[in-house]
Structure 1
Amino acid sequence: MLMVTIALLPASAFGVYNFGIQALLMLIVTTVTAVVVEAIYEKAMKKPVTVKDFSAVVTGLLLGLNMPPTAPLWMGALGSIFAIIIVKQLFGGLGQNFMNPALGARCFLVISFTGPMTRFVYDGVTGPTPLGQLKAGEVVDTMEMLKGTIPGTIGETSVIAIIIGAVFLILMGVIDLRIPGTYIVTVAVFVGIFGHFANPDIAFFDPTYITAHLCGGGLMLGAWFMATDYVTSPITKKGQYLYGILMGVLTGLFRLFGGSAEGVSYAIIISNLVVPLIERVTLPKPFGKGGE
């Protein structure tokens, strides 16, 4: 968890650079609230206080990175309370939660406060995210999406900053390529094939269209930092590939044929719920009971 926190620092720093002091305050509020609420709850329930394991820090920081920079600070605090109490602690704490706490809280906030959670401002101008523009049939600048100088949530905009953190996690042995690689490739293939059916003006496997989908909508942040969550992802190798494919297909369906231009959060959460079934069908048989 400490390694994940360190790996999130480049995306956090760029988010603050991109969106200013409001982004910094949001990251502080969500992170501090998550840590304090976890400590208070565990103290009240007479459980060992586990805030030193950095799991609450990761939850709060990830939630902050998934918040629009213009959202009220109290909303970020409410999201952290929901993530820690409802999604994590009421199900037994770390290792027992059935979905990613930060994403669960983000979806709760989007459903409850749709307006503030889908309002994006960049450089003083309110407008849709690049994926929103793409869904409306407009042209987007993929180079700006790659650099991150676009409207969006605090941590999702800069692919470069996210990749720096992801490479750090890979080198430290915290994650591998199975889940994020399968997820990203599946999205690319799905968008390449079905993008034409969603918009006849888009050619099959249009490179610009695919690049825009890979760089936008929090796909990279979700693939590298939330889909790889140890608690809510499969432990079997075959299961991890299947998990990545499922998330990729769901993300493509939500983006191309759903009402929203995003879809990553709901794709990961739905896949989290299917993980027990995935592990059941992919668990190897032990030696002596049919296993080789």
Structure 2
Amino acid sequence: MNKLLVVSPSPHVHSGDSTPRLMYNVVLALIPALAVTLFYFGLGALIVTAISIVSCLVFEFLIQKYLLKVKPSISDGSALVTGLILAFNLPSNLPWWIVVIGALVAIGVGKLSFGGLGRNPFNPALVGRVFLLISFPVQMTSWPLPIESRMSYIDAVTGATPLAVVKEGLSKGELMSSIVDQIPSHMQLFMGAMGGSLGEIAAFALLIGFAWMLITKVITWHIPVSIFATIGIFTGILWLINPEANADPIFHLITGGVMLGAIFMATDYVTSPMHPKGMWIFGIGIGVITVVIRVWGAYPEGISFAILIMNAFVPLINRYLKPSRFGEEVKRNG
């Protein structure tokens, strides 16, 4: 009787998942988009991505070890994912020191100031991105052109994004029928032939990553599909009402950060709802806010702001839409 049997409270269920497995599957899902990004932007994309990832890993290690006095958790892959997604939100000609500042804000403010992984209310990479956009608007909106900028870093050839071209043209009273001649075709946009941040130019590659995460059950379809559907329906209605004053829904879906935001940032476990119904509400809210900012706001893009705003509503959504407790009896009619 000298051996004690220790029994933990129920439920005795384990899914087999772990934080490293989930995070590294996200990294694998981003590899196709990273390959396309490196093809289009070359040296600049490589430098920005490397600096972002290394900075996030270093800041997480230093802050946890020397400020929070806890065991560093850089091996779980979360800082790696934050660094990679932050890089995807930046232009390939961004000065290295601005990238480092963005990583510090993402990890130090967006994540660790709230207690670390699992406690942060806002997506860390988006916190870093929005901070840089507000603090360094010129550098953050100087978009290198693909192909022409492959061998350059700071001195890359820059130009406006398709969203910016449409926004500026419509504000000047131009018609969409004349603006479309100034931007690439839908197929070119889908394949990535446009200026923008690293993650805005690879819609087809991001969809490959989406399929991988669905197959490996890293995420569910609810949030991305609800965002795509909301943006498509909202912009489709506007386009049907006046096609000369509004871009078509396909254009809105394959340009800007919609694909990256819907698939890789809005689906963050910590900052998104737990219940499928809550995910739908969350996704619809992101879609509506994104379109409102794009069509009537000051910025040509709005997905980052939309996700952060809806992140703030997640605790409220979770409060009223909770998954059933394990073992709880569900009442059935009849």
Common fold: TM-score over 0.5: yes
1:15 paired residue number: 37
Quick check: 1:220 aligned with 2:242?
A: no
Q: How far apart are the structure 1 equivalents of 2:259 and 2:80?
A: 20
Partners of 1:284 and 1:291 within 8 A in 2: no
Among 57, 64, 70, the residue aligned to 2:87: 64
Matches of residues 1-292 of structure 1 in structure 2 within 5 Å?
1-44=23-66, 45-122=68-145, 123=148, 125-135=157-167, 136-137=169-170, 138-139=179-180, 140=183, 141-195=185-239, 201-202=244-245, 209-283=248-322, 292=331
Structure holding more helix per residue: 1
Q: How far apart are the structure 1 equivalents of 2:278 and 2:240?
A: 30
Q: How far apart are the structure 1 equivalents of 2:325 and 2:216?
A: 30
**For residues 6 and 200 of structure 1, do their structure 2 counterparts lie closer, same or farther at Cα, with a shift above 3 Å needed?**
closer
Q: How far apart are the structure 1 equivalents of 2:92 and 2:123?
A: 21
Read off the aligned partner of 1:64 and give its amino acid letter: A
Deviations 1:167-204 (A, max 9, x none): 1111101011101001111000111113467x66147x
Partners of 1:195 and 1:256 within 8 A in 2: no
Name structure 2 gaps, 5 residues minimum: 1-22, 150-156, 171-178
Structure 2 counterpart SS, 1:8: helix
Q: How far apart are the structure 2 equivalents of 1:102 and 1:287?
A: 33
Read off the aligned partner of 1:226 and give its amino acid letter: M
Structure 2 counterpart SS, 1:229: coil
Name structure 1 gaps, 5 residues minimum: none
Q: How far apart are the structure 1 equivalents of 2:227 and 2:199?
A: 19
Read off the aligned partner of 2:306 and give its amino acid letter: A
**TM-score when scaled to structure 1?**
0.93
Partners of 2:274 and 2:323 within 8 A in 1: no
Cα offset for 1:281? Answer: 2.1
Aligned residues: 287
Q: How far apart are the structure 2 equivalents of 1:152 and 1:61?
A: 16
The alignment-based identity, stated in percent, is 41
Cα offset for 1:257? Answer: 0.8
Partners of 1:196 and 1:202 within 8 A in 2: no
Root-mean-square deviation (CA, aligned residues, Å) is 2.0
**TM superposition outliers: structure 1 runs of 4+ over 3 Å:** 284-291
Q: How far apart are the structure 2 equivalents of 1:217 and 1:256?
A: 13
Q: How far apart are the structure 1 equivalents of 2:327 and 2:34?
A: 50
Read off the aligned partner of 2:143 and give its amino acid letter: F
**TM-score when scaled to structure 2?**
0.82
**For residues 285 and 169 of structure 1, do their structure 2 counterparts lie closer, same or farther at Cα, with a shift above 3 Å needed?**
closer
